[in-house]
Structure 1
Amino acid sequence: MEKKQIFGIFIALIVLAGIGVILLNPSGSSDSSDSQKVNTPTSVEQSVNTPTNVEQGVNTSTSGVKTIRHGYLPSNGDALIFVAKEEGLWTEEGLNVELYQFTKGTEGYNSLFGNKLDTVGAGTSDPATYIAQGADITIIGGLMSEGQFLVADPENAKDLADLNNWKGKKIATIAMSNGDLIYKAALKKAGIDWKKDVTFLELGSPNAVLEAVKTGKADGGIIWIPYEILAQKQGLAIASYSYQYYDNHPCCRIALKTETLNEDRDTYVKFEKGLIKAYKFFSENQNESVDDIQKYVNIDKEAIRQSTWSNYFYASPDPNTNGVKEYYQMMKDSGYIDTDVKIEDHIDSTVYKQALNELIKENPDDQFYQNLLSEYQKMNE
């Protein structure tokens, strides 16, 4: 056979091998730039970039240990996730919880819908928006409340602290984040048409929001913890807090596909037990919790402590059904969503309740769990 023919066959084999690799890895790695405009998905099927460290595959386990793939944000708002993982509290429940990072809620939910994650912890706006669009997902627990901010150049901060001064301004935000909704709802309540009177620059991460404000591309930016600390270190100022417009509003919720929950409810009761135990540990062991958080949130320990144990952030695994229903109604009233879907049909607080009851039975003299039961009754019944 001539050398040209041999060379041609060799090239053809390389091309075929390359095609095979592409077919075996359809998720690709096409991450978008932080500065690229991100539009809110119009349906649950619309594609959003998938986190590159979330692998395809099925939920596997070894030696009878159940594996849950959980998507998280690199924020101290996910403190209970980090504590449960690092302190082995899920291991005690017979679970192997694998953590996968994403930068915004839409990425996490895209991976959930693509069967690359089993559970997601992100702001209330994310699952609520997808539910409003017809996604069959269920909220089973919480992680945090509040913790959203508007930051600006110190010269503009006082001006932007008054919502009436937002007309004609450009505000950097992350679509479907809790702060995005809270501030838009506050504008609507103040009689300002946020769709016409304010320009919202939708970006891909809190860091991109900070950069837009620092470079003057935006007058202000909406971010979440712990980026308020980073913002101040970079010379920006906090103009306002989300709790000023909605006190103790729910933020990150634990959600999963309804089908997944129905197929293996006991596993997710154990998942919630791990989070409840993490909440107890978090409440009683501040220094150790800071160490656990810092493994996932890349800022110094004192900044983590300042942002986490503050008067503008509350950690809690309670699903807070009543708060989520109120939040959902606010989304509708502000024009953020338009739907007849009832959010209460997609909240199952009994998963958390069962987990809490089991812990009370296992620890009958522990007042911490008794107090959580009282809180549950106020927020869910």
Structure 2
Amino acid sequence: MRSRRWMIGFLMISVLALAACGEKNAASGKESSTLRVGYGQLYGAPLADIARAEGFFEDENLEVEMISFTSGGLDALNSDKIDIALTFGTAGPLNYIAQGADFTFIGGHMEGGQPVVTKEENANKYKTLEDFKGKKIATVRLGTLDVIFKSALDDAGIDIQKDVDFVEVKSVADVLEAVQSGKVDVGLSNTGHLTKTEQIGLKPIFWSNDLSQNDLCCRVTVRGNISSDKAVAYKKFMKALIKAERVKLENPKKNLEASKPTFKQLPEERVNEIVNEKHLINSADPNKKEVVNTWGKMQDIGYIKDVDNIDLDDHFNLSMYEEAIDELIKENPNDDYYKKVLKRFNKQNVQS
């Protein structure tokens, strides 16, 4: 009888201990979290790939399911089929917000790396934006470079409705074909197409980095009304991406190796071009100021209208990114890198 009572008591103590441990883990944010993360097949997901390969998600007890999309990634986010839309631009999510979608920006992923291309023999004809007057230009509507280029022309006093002739096509492959065949004079291309561009006799004449100092591409986008559990998971995700950004800066080869499984059918040289092109910047920073600037550009060129009732501030939640930086600084008090990340965050996101 004593043995039985002892066993019951031992089991009760064990259960209480496990429960207390679970409460402690929950309070510290160490409970296991799962996220479904969508990414564009064309761009991959460099920072997420590094985070996976380096064990940064595992460090945070975070399970991440990466889901590839050729199209429809933002529709999947809007319909709750994924938790995060990772590489679907900035203009795309802003266009959804303009149409009433409850999207929220929590971080960043890509900047730059978008080339304006023409036939190699015509490259010397384009020195300034004025040289595009009277030209036919192939573009994918609402692509990152589509908005940046049109906005740059508009800022230069060039009427994008009258002074140039934009030909909208469905894909970057169509852009390149249109330029090569002579159907248009110039094309607005994209990250990861440089090899094909050169193979068919085309050449970059401008990069998006030349046209805009902070030409944002992919933002980390989620649905609004974030639950406390999701907030913890998103903080972990951004923490892993911040660490991954450092790895890419310090060791591009690791970026290449981490990205190979995402682009299984492509040769190593092509993968390296997609994820390590020198004009492409991978930054986890939300860069709110430039997102707001892009929102204004889209209104200026007529892409979004009648949005006076939308307060864009309602579509940012930067607390998870801030918490991620704070944790990294506390965990690495003698490491100046994360202090620089915080300084960048304050410059690009905090109103001065």
Matched, 1:96 2:96: no
Matched, 1:108 2:73: yes
Match of 2:191 in 1: 225
> Which residue of the other structure, out of 331, 343, 347, is the alignment partner of 1:374?
343
Question: Map of 1:109-258 to 2, 5 A cutoff?
Answer: 109-121=74-86, 122-258=88-224
The secondary structure found in structure 2 opposite 1:295 is helix
Q: Decide whether aligned partners of structure 1 residues 68 and 202 sit closer, same or farther in structure 2, where only a CA change above 3 A counts.
A: farther
> Which residue of the other structure, out of 324, 334, 342, is the alignment partner of 2:311?
342
The secondary structure found in structure 2 opposite 1:277 is helix
Structure with the higher fraction of residues in helix conformation: 2
1:231-250 Cα offsets, whole Å, 9 max, x none, are 12332111211122211222
- Give distance in 2, aligned partners of 1:196 and 1:161: 21
Q: Decide whether aligned partners of structure 1 residues 282 and 365 sit closer, same or farther in structure 2, where only a CA change above 3 A counts.
A: same
Q: Decide whether aligned partners of structure 1 residues 299 and 214 sit closer, same or farther in structure 2, where only a CA change above 3 A counts.
A: farther
Q: CA deviation at 1:181?
A: 0.1
Q: Decide whether aligned partners of structure 1 residues 111 and 291 sit closer, same or farther in structure 2, where only a CA change above 3 A counts.
A: same
How many residues align? The count is 316
Q: CA deviation at 1:310?
A: 5.3
Give 1:345's aligned amino acid.
D
Q: State percent identity of aligned pairs.
A: 37
Q: CA deviation at 1:134?
A: 1.9
- Give distance in 2, aligned partners of 1:113 and 1:161: 42
Q: CA deviation at 1:306?
A: 5.6
- Give distance in 1, aligned partners of 2:191 and 2:37: 20
Match of 1:270 in 2: 236
- Show structure 2 runs of 5+ residues with no match: 1-30
In 2, are the aligned partners of 1:77 and 1:143 still within 8 Å (CA)? no
- Give distance in 2, aligned partners of 1:80 and 1:311: 16
Q: CA deviation at 1:65?
A: 4.0
> Which residue of the other structure, out of 332, 338, 345, is the alignment partner of 1:363?
332
Match of 1:39 in 2: none
Match of 2:285 in 1: 318
The secondary structure found in structure 1 opposite 2:242 is helix
- Give distance in 2, aligned partners of 1:366 and 1:77: 30
The secondary structure found in structure 2 opposite 1:274 is helix
The secondary structure found in structure 1 opposite 2:286 is coil
Question: Map of 1:286-301 to 2, 5 A cutoff?
Answer: 286-297=252-263, 299-301=266-268
The more displaced of 346-355 and 218-227 is 218-227
- Show structure 1 runs of 5+ residues with no match: 1-63
Over aligned residue pairs, what C-alpha RMSD do you find? 2.3
1:60-98 Cα offsets, whole Å, 9 max, x none, are xxxx74321111123557321221223332122122211
Q: CA deviation at 1:142?
A: 0.2
Give 2:66's aligned amino acid.
L
Give 1:163's aligned amino acid.
L
Larger Rg: 2
Q: Decide whether aligned partners of structure 1 residues 284 and 166 sit closer, same or farther in structure 2, where only a CA change above 3 A counts.
A: closer
1:200-258 Cα offsets, whole Å, 9 max, x none, are 33333322322222233332221221112331233211121112221122221000100
- Give distance in 2, aligned partners of 1:210 and 1:136: 35
TM-score for both structures, normalised by structure 1:
0.76
- Give distance in 1, aligned partners of 2:289 and 2:227: 21
